[in-house]
Amino acid sequence: MNLQGQRREEPDVNLTSLIDVVLLLLVFFMVSTSFVKEAVLKVDLPEASEQAAVSQAEEPLVITVAANGELRVNDRELVNNRPDTLRAAITLTVGDERDIQVLLRADGKASHQSVVTAMDVLGRMGFRRLSIAAVATPEDSR
């Protein structure tokens, strides 16, 4: 009579296949990932310096967008609000100079389309130094 019980074998977990699957997934995701840079907007942030700010001798070009979408170039009203008219007025004002500071002043209630159109015209003409200012009406500040 055999009073000893059957000897139980310890369960053995084989991790080899699990490791193989994880490594294959890792390789698959590494290969299938695209490292393409999308269009990036380059922003030049101002830097602080200990020297006093040097005032610029040049007068900036000021484009004003009113609440009703009316455009002005250096406080001169344009005939209409078409991009071609804005382009002609800018060319008449600054000529071929493209390295001057441009200030785009937009009323707080101006349509987004009017502001983007002015920015698009400036970008297509080659202006790179653009500052944007939003002007609030007095009743907005209450």
Q: Give the pLDDT band (50/70/90) at residue 19.
A: very high
Structure tokens at 72: 């002005």
DSSP 3-state of 2: coil
**Arithmetic mean of pLDDT, 22-34:** 89
pLDDT at 1: 57
| Cα–Cα nearest to 135, from 46, 72, 76 | 72
Tell me: pLDDT of 38 over 70.
Answer: no
Tell me: pLDDT of 20 over 90.
Answer: yes
Q: Give the pLDDT band (50/70/90) at residue 11.
A: confident
pLDDT at 27: 93
Question: Which is higher by pLDDT, 52 or 106?
Answer: 106
**Arithmetic mean of pLDDT, 33-47:** 71
Phi/psi of residue 7, each to 5°?
Answer: -75, 125
Q: How far is CA 45 from the centre of its chain?
A: 13
Taking all residues of the chain, what is their mean pLDDT, rounded to a whole number?
A: 81
Instruction: Indicate the helix (H) or strand (E) that contains 83.
Output: helix 83-94
Task: Give 61-141's CATH code, choosing from 3.30.420.270, 1.10.10.10, 3.40.50.880, 3.50.50.60.
Answer: 3.30.420.270
The full set of domain ranges for the chain reads 61-141
Q: How far apart are CA 122 and CA 24, in angstroms?
A: 51
What is the pairing mode between strands 71-73 and 130-135? Answer: unpaired
